[in-house]
Amino acid sequence: MTPTIKGVILAGGLGTRLKPLTDITNKHLLPVYDRPMILHPIESMVKAGIKEIMLVTGGNNAGDFLRLLGDGRQYGIRRLQYTYQKGEGGIAEALGLAEDFAEGQRIMVYLGDNLISESLGPYVKTFKRQAQGGMILLKKVGNLSAYGVPKFKGSRIEKIIEKPSCPPSPYAVIGIYFYHPSVFKIIKTLKPSGRGELEITDVNNAYLRRKQMTYGIVQGHWADAGESIDSWFEANLMAQKQRKKS
């Protein structure tokens, strides 16, 4: 039987790097070209065949997602659920809230401020064939100081270093991840980092130590719309170009 993959979109956080734009709304509700930011990852997931999605949000504007998305059917979602992350506990903590939704199935995790131009369908098909563990997506970028960066040993990733001062490779780990349901057991073993959060890099490194982590390299355009005002502006330009092509 072909494994089922469910989608988890993480759309919490305070969006401090996009202030003052986020003083009045969640950053994932800001416009990116012709639609709210959150609709871009939803569209990518639905086009890849993922129709059951949980949205993890937080902060003071969580109710606005329900007003925008409703039950999700108008956007091609068959089943849309919501949950709320209290405080700033990190990406791995937010993912842990989706355990009941996952119901023992595999998941694709998508940080809601990421935009990608190429289809995620091939990555979904690849991960369905993977017996266990996880898969991360990498992209060659210029500014690596804000991201996790893989250190390679031959063609295999040895470990991921978070925000390195001397990057060991030219690739960033972008905010799209695939996990076997064992991820929830790993999350429960994590301890908060120095900034008081449960880090997704620790999850990925746990799989790497088990030699259960694979990767794909994104060739198309990718943007992190939440990294800074400039990156949000660049994401708008990318989305505009993609919309005119379609």
Q: What confidence category does residue 7 fall into, taking pLDDT thresholds of 50, 70 and 90?
A: very high
Element (H, E) at 201: helix 200-209
* Predicted pLDDT at 89: 83
Beta bridge mates, 53:
7, 80
**Residue 122 contacts by C-beta under 8 Å, 6 or more apart in sequence?**
none
What is the rounded average pLDDT for all residues in the chain? 93
| pLDDT single digits (tens) 71-130 | 999 999 999 999 999 877 899 999 999 999 999 999 999 999 999 999 999 999 999 999
| pLDDT single digits (tens) 14-70 | 778 899 989 989 999 999 999 999 999 999 999 999 999 999 998 878 889 999 999
Q: CA angle at residue 144 from 87 to 106, to 5 degrees?
A: 55
Beta bridge mates, 157:
152
**Cβ atoms < 10 Å from Cβ of 28:** 31
| pLDDT single digits (tens) 124-165 | 999 999 999 999 999 999 888 889 999 999 999 999 999 998
| pLDDT single digits (tens) 199-237 | 999 999 999 999 999 999 999 999 999 999 999 999 999
Query: Can you tell me whether residue 16 is helix, strand or coil?
Result: helix
* Predicted pLDDT at 60: 77
Dihedral sign computed on CA atoms, order 209, 214, 217, 218: negative
Dihedrals phi, psi of 131, to nearest 5 degrees? -65, -35
* Residue that has been written with the tokens 């939440």 in this structure: 226
The pair of three-digit structure tokens given for residue 105, joined into one six-digit string:
């199935």
Q: Is the pLDDT of residue 1 over 80?
A: no
* Predicted pLDDT at 183: 98
Instruction: Tell me the DSSP string of 33-61.
Output: TTEETTHHHHHHHHHTT--EEEEEEETT-
* Predicted pLDDT at 14: 76
DSSP type of residue 93: H
* Predicted pLDDT at 15: 79
Q: Where are the beta strands (DSSP E) in the chain?
A: 5-11, 31-32, 35-36, 52-58, 79-85, 106-111, 114-116, 134-140, 148-153, 156-162, 171-179, 213-217, 222-224
CATH number at 5-245: 3.90.550.10
* Residue that has been written with the tokens 């266990």 in this structure: 132
Span 189-199, average pLDDT = 90
Which residue type sits at 131?
A
Q: Is the pLDDT of residue 196 over 90?
A: no
Return the domain boundaries, the chain. Answer: 5-245
